[in-house]
Structure 1
Amino acid sequence: MIIVAVNQLQQTNLREQALAVLKLRLISGDLVPGEIYSAAALAAELGVSNSPVREAMLTLVNQGLMETVRNRGFRVVPLSDRERRNIYDLRMMLEVPSMAKLARIKEKIAPRFAEFSRIAAEITASAEAGDIVGYLDADRRFHLGLLDVLDNEQLVSIIDNLRDQSRQYGLRQLSSNGKLVDSALEHQKILDAIVDGDEAKVAELMELHLGHFVGDWAG
């Protein structure tokens, strides 16, 4: 019984890891709408067995991010301009005031300033190296990590879900022309404004930052 439990834990861990990687590739545009992907091919690329990758892809189907193609594999569900605008509006309504609220409790952020500064530096380093997946991974840890300080699990879960639905196809073009680094540098500015207790500045910076989603990042 113990062996079975350990195997199940390992399997679950592989599925979650595969899901995280696939979400990042989907958001960055590495997984292209209209293309059909097989679990076997992606599993071979990731160096794992088919099962956790297939389970991860079925999770993405359940979340409305992919769809099954009978006897062929999985296809990314396209995101329309209207859907992109709706996601942007929701993120503006939720993320801007939530991040600004952190300036009111700056004493909770200040002890972790070095931690979040390191993540901000990691975002910039990934942008400079053209590592889109690394950029998105660090970006998620920065924003959701800060929001987690508000101690509102439902809020973080909703915003995390909205991020999963995003498609930021323009990131690679931004990376090639150097503009992604400019976007990356915004993270430290947001953090500085929070620890300064400047709520209005945080809101201003977040509006600028999220504006990329329907502008530069849209592709």
Structure 2
Amino acid sequence: MTTSRPAGAPARDAQLKSVSLRQQAREALRTRIVLGQIEPGQVESVINVASELGVSITPVREAVMDLANLGMVEIIRNRGFRVPVLTDHDLEEIFRLRTMLEVPAMVELAESVDRASVAGFRQLAEQLTGAARVGDLVPFLDLDRQFHLGLLELLGNRRLVAMVGQLRDQARMEGLQKLADQGELTQSGEEHVAIVEAVLSGDAELTAELMRKHLTHSRGIWAGRTEGNG
């Protein structure tokens, strides 16, 4: 899990601290990519990014290599990197894979895992909803990641957590800023509370229904697309 970050969207001139620069650069770039703050298809210079973050080229170059291994960026030799353009078909593939993996996993959680180990996630869901209510996207994304991957970790399947984490990174949440601006992000936060309550109640059918609906946003409003009734 990642640690909580300061409230508010990352400023383009945000300076990084001198601790774990590679990791901080990676997280800063990850957030910008997921939120669509780096234009897909546009070549970005490592030198320029390093200047914006206030660090040397090395940690940024290393961070870019990490993200390339996750499929989040493509390295352009002697030029920098670019974020791949995602089509509706790409989003649909990611949604279907996440549904195949996460819905059954959450059902298993509702049916078998000790409730005490899940109870702490209620508070995390409430914190996430609070961040959504005031439109703080960076902590919202961080808490959302902690919530979903943390619940999956309770099943003890490291490969499942890694695969879902990578799929999350490859998706886009360009629509979050619009939802936050319109005061409509709170509903997405509240869905996390409902999912935790369903798991704690041991209601596998409701857990599956809520989780499937929640994931639908990954190809809809979170990605800045129109959401259907399916």
* Cα distance in 1 for residues equivalent to 2:222 and 2:125: 19
- 1:87 aligned partner, one-letter code: I
* Cα distance in 1 for residues equivalent to 2:220 and 2:202: 29
1:110 aligned to 94, 113, 116, which one?
Answer: 116
- 1:51 aligned partner, one-letter code: T
Task: From the two aligned structures, give the one with the greater helix fraction.
Answer: 1
TM-score by length of 2: 0.83
**Unmatched 5+ residue regions in structure 2?**
1-17, 225-230
* Cα distance in 2 for residues equivalent to 1:193 and 1:148: 18
**Is 1:93 aligned to residue 100 of structure 2?**
yes
* Cα distance in 2 for residues equivalent to 1:44 and 1:79: 27
The answer as to whether partners of 1:12 and 1:52 remain within 8 angstroms in 2 is no
2:189 aligned to 184, 189, 192, which one?
Answer: 184
The answer as to whether partners of 2:195 and 2:210 remain within 8 angstroms in 1 is yes
* Cα distance in 1 for residues equivalent to 2:37 and 2:133: 19
**The residue matched to 2:156 in structure 1 has which SS?**
coil
- 2:101 aligned partner, one-letter code: L
Q: Computing the radius of gyration over CA atoms, which structure comes out larger, 1 or 2?
A: 1
Identical-residue share of aligned pairs (%): 46
Structure 1 residues 130 and 35 mapped into 2: Cα distance closer, same or farther (>3 Å)?
farther
- The aligned length equals 207
TM-score by length of 1: 0.87
2:64 aligned to 44, 47, 57, which one?
Answer: 57
- Which residue in 2 is equivalent to 1:148? 153
**Unmatched 5+ residue regions in structure 1?**
1-10
The answer as to whether partners of 1:106 and 1:197 remain within 8 angstroms in 2 is no
The answer as to whether partners of 2:118 and 2:200 remain within 8 angstroms in 1 is no
The answer as to whether partners of 1:123 and 1:139 remain within 8 angstroms in 2 is yes
Query: Per-residue deviation at 1:70?
Result: 4.5
